Amino acid sequence: MVRFALPFMVGIVLARWYALPWMWIAATWTLATVVVIRMLFWRVERPVRWRRGTAIVAWFLLSGATIHTLSRPEAHRSHFIHDIDRSGPWLVEVDAINGSSGRTLRLDATVKGRWIEGALLERTGRVMATLLPRDTTQGLRPGDRLLMDAPLEAIDRIADPGGFDRRAWAASKGIAHEIFVSADEWKLLDHRPHWTDPFANARAQVDHWLRRSGLPDRERGLVKALVLGQRDEVDRDQNTAFARSGTIHVLAVSGMHVGLIYLLIGQLLRGMGASTGWRWLRMIIILLVLWGYAGLTGGSPSVLRATVMFTLFSLAQLRDRRPDQLNSLFSAGFLLLVWDPGMLVQASFQLSFLAVLGILLFLKPIQRLWQPRWWVLEQLWSLAAVSLAAQAFTTPVSILLFNAFPVWFLPANLVIVTAMTFAVYLSIALLVLHTVPVIGPLIAWALTELLTFVGHTADLFAWMPGAYPAIRLGGTGVLLLYAIILLGGAWWAWRWRWAGWGLAFSLMLILTGWVFQARETHAQRQFVVYDNRKVLDAAFVCGRSLIAVGTDTTEEFLRAKVDRHMRYAGSSAMTLIPLADLQRNTVRTVDGTAFGAGVWVNDRMSVAFLTGDLRRPSRFAAPVDVVVIHDIQRMDTTALNGHLEQMGHLVLAGGMRWRHRAQWRSWAMAHGIPVHSVQDDGAFILRP
């Protein structure tokens, strides 16, 4: 299956890079299918059988491109993107609940129709919805059909450099539009059957049991993440600690959790007979438990991937065969990509798939490096080998996504994954036995102590010296790093001499790339106004220095933005300046920039900051690339009429009233000046 799934994935990637008309590619695929079918029935001499194999591989590549192309909105005439007017009301069906708070509910939904002049017309497409609560909000579940009377809007908000890109995240799920609905603009119409329906009451009951279990709030949030896949009660500090320690995967219900359930049920049923009937019964029980757990966790893509893979393992064992784990992995990936080709660009799919692939390829060679005599050391070494093998294949993508690497991942995983294994089993025991006197409270106490230990351990490794250094790696660097891993593994494990030469060449290329990257980093210049709807936060990047200005430089929100920006830009030095210092009449210099009297300059760009009373004409000593307006008390748009030729961009900082933003937009558009509102458009990023 590997030789077919790989070209299928390549076809999806090519179709994303080079968009072709869907009718043309569908016709090409149809013709290619006819040719391949004819070739399968031809008698082919052995010396030329490679032609048939090549044709089949090419057909799978074309199939991947075709499936992705046909999944694009342009291929469906009923898709709502063809509507010029995208106002409501809309008929939508809930696909997944992404999270909830006391003020909003976030969900993914599929558009089913739109009412136009009283008639319901068919419409298709997916949207992200944000609902303000009403009486029925908490009871919403996948399969519910809602009426939403609000316009659809494109997800085009610009993310901070290195920050969470909501537009890219939505695009990975095939979503490019969103809808914001107030409490009186939506209502529940009915419910359509969904495969997770039988588990809805069980999820609610489990949530109720956990609230009655006596667990503290912090530990209960971890149990909900482990058992139900709900991370909305895991606080930000916990997420940060697990991410920096390289153990964030334990909070996302995925292959590890499904594998633990699979092993537990397998051990419990090991005493059943070896006849065909008993093996059938064992497989049915295992599959019922696995798919039941998938339903209990809401049927997230990561759980479905793992469940499909372990289902294939069980079917292979039923046939009295040793399951080919590599083929099972690629078969699971192939089936999931046929169902949703957009899954290939989702970070969760990439990381989980690559982690399992690394374990399958490198686990045994790593384990052979050491054969400890003591059982405890053997178990610890096995766990370390699993972590090393998984990290080998996930590291390049992780660096590309997060611009950092968790240095202490190995000891952190040894401790935390071991503890979390017991935590999963204790959580299941707590759900079953929480009402039993003595036993229930005892399990709750043990689970609380264990999860408290896990939290402290994650904090320890997260904030150790050099725990999360910034590392930048582009797409070419990722490919070269994978070449180094594969060639190094082949040279070390199988002693392939040519792999050693390829390894040396790849190392030379990646080192050369880092030299050029260092030169580009030293020469970079950038001005950013961060995505903050309330106040002004901005920064200059000059080479490896980042200088940030903010209303409150002690605020953790600003410091988190600056930290992510530093990783993204490859900066090694950071300076925070209070916003009030920019308006002082004294001139100061910091890391290649100078500021004072409301102007901030470096060797390539200049920025003017206007605040307070804008009824008087403003004066600039020289032309500026950007004018930032913030914290205005009174205004008159004619105050800048004398500087129309001296302005490159006009930026409206967060916290400005809607009426003032509208006036400045109208003024800028009338004079042909590019205008950007942080409150409406997100971050502003300018490079010379």
In a domain, 367, yes or no: no
Distance, in Å, from the CA atom of 503 to the CA atom of 492, rounded to the nearest integer, reads 11
Query: In this structure, are 216 and 176 located in the same domain?
Result: no
Which helix (H) or strand (E) element contains residue 356?
Answer: helix 347-367
168 and 308 housed in the same domain: no
Q: Which domain holds residue 501?
A: 475-523
Mean of pLDDT values over 478-506: 89
Would you say residue 426 lies in a domain? Answer: yes
Q: Are 560 and 574 in contact (CB under 8 A)?
A: no
Q: Could you tell me the pLDDT band of residue 401, with boundaries at 50, 70 and 90?
A: confident
> pLDDT-based confidence at 18, cuts 50/70/90?
confident
Are 88 and 41 in contact by the 8 Å Cβ rule? The answer is no
Tokens for 518, please give them. 């260092």
Residues 505 and 578 in one domain: no
Residue 399 lies in a domain: no
- Bridge partners (DSSP) of residue 634 are 613
- Evaluate if residue 490 carries a pLDDT over 80: yes
Element (H, E) at 491: helix 475-493
Is the preceding omega at residue 617 within 30 degrees of 0, hence cis? no
Residue 403 lies in a domain: no
Side by side, the strands of the sheet bearing 525-529 are 573-578, 545-550, 537-542, 525-529, 684-686
612-669 tens-digit pLDDT: 655 454 555 567 899 998 887 666 666 666 666 677 899 999 888 888 888 888 888 8
Average pLDDT, the chain: 84
Helix, strand, coil percent content, the chain, rounded in steps of 5: 55, 20, 25
Tell me which of 40, 60, 75 is where a domain ends.
75
Q: Are residues 172 and 300 in the same domain?
A: no
**pLDDT number for residue 425:** 80
Does residue 412 belong to any structural domain of this protein? no
pTM given for the model = 0.81
Amino acid identity of 151? P
Q: Of the candidates 296, 71, 135, which has an alpha carbon nearest to the alpha carbon of residue 205?
A: 296
Query: Token digits for 166?
Result: 């909501």
The residue from 169, 194, 219 where one domain ends is 194
SS3 state of residue 130: strand
Same domain, 451 and 496: no
Number of domains in the chain: 5
**CA-to-CA dists, residue 201 to 139, 166, 500, 630, angstroms:** 10, 31, 57, 50
**Is 92:76 a contact under the CB 8 Å cutoff?**
no
What CATH number corresponds to the domain at position 159?
A: 2.40.50
- Residue 499 to residue 63: CA distance in whole angstroms: 32
Distance, in Å, from the CA atom of 619 to the CA atom of 639, rounded to the nearest integer, reads 9
| Three-state SS at 474 | coil
Contact 213, 432 (CB under 8 A): no
Q: Is the dihedral of CA 162, 164, 169, 171 positive or negative?
A: negative
Asked if residues 577 and 547 have their Cβ atoms less than 8 Å apart, the reply is yes
Residues 552 and 618 in one domain: yes
Identity (one letter) of the amino acid at 627?
V
What stretch of H or E contains 270?
Answer: none
User: Whose CA is closest to 179, among 123, 129, 253, 117?
Assistant: 129
CA 605 to chain centroid, in Å, comes to 34
Under 8 Å between Cβ of 333 and 306? no
d(C-alpha 267, C-alpha 443), whole Å: 22
Give yes or no: residues 279 and 165 share one domain.
Answer: no
79: phi then psi, degrees, rounded to nearest 5: -65, 145
The C-alpha atoms of residue 146 and residue 138 are separated, in whole angstroms, by 14
Q: Which of 470, 488, 471, 490 is nearest to 480 (CA)?
A: 488
pLDDT tens-place string over residues 363-387: 888 888 888 888 888 888 887 888 8
Dihedral sign for Cα 228, 234, 240, 244, please: negative
Between CA 625 and CA 622 the distance in angstroms is 10
d(CA 121, CA 611): 50
Task: For residue 323, name the pLDDT band (cuts at 50, 70, 90).
Answer: low
Q: Give 82 or 634, the one with higher predicted confidence.
A: 82
At 80, the pLDDT band (50, 70, 90 cuts) reads very high
> Do 547 and 506 fall into the same domain?
no
Note the pLDDT tens digit of each residue in 498-554.
Answer: 899 999 999 999 999 889 988 999 999 999 999 998 889 999 999 999 999 988 877
Q: Hey, what amino acid is at 443?
A: I
In a shared domain, residues 104 and 219:
no
In a domain, 554, yes or no: yes
Task: Look at residue 382 and tell me if it is in a domain.
Answer: no
Contacts of 319 (CB under 8 A, 6+ apart): none
- Whose tokens are 């059988």? That residue is 49
- Residue-wise pLDDT for 567-619, tens only, equals 899 888 899 999 888 888 888 999 889 998 888 999 899 998 887 655 454 55
219/164 same-domain check: no
Indicate whether 206 pLDDT > 90.
no
Element of type H or E holding 59: helix 49-70
pLDDT at 152 (0 to 100): 95
Phi, psi of 418 (to 5 degrees): -60, -45
644/591 same-domain check: yes
Return the DSSP state at 407.
Answer: T
Q: Smallest Cα–Cα separation from 158: which of 515, 538, 677?
A: 677
Question: Does residue 262 belong to any structural domain of this protein?
Answer: yes
pLDDT, tens digit, for every residue of 341-361?
888 888 878 888 888 888 888
User: Is the confidence at residue 321, as pLDDT, over 60?
Assistant: no
Is the per-residue pLDDT at 477 higher than 80?
yes
Residues 99 and 189 in one domain: yes
Q: Which residue's structure tokens are 């757990």? A: 293
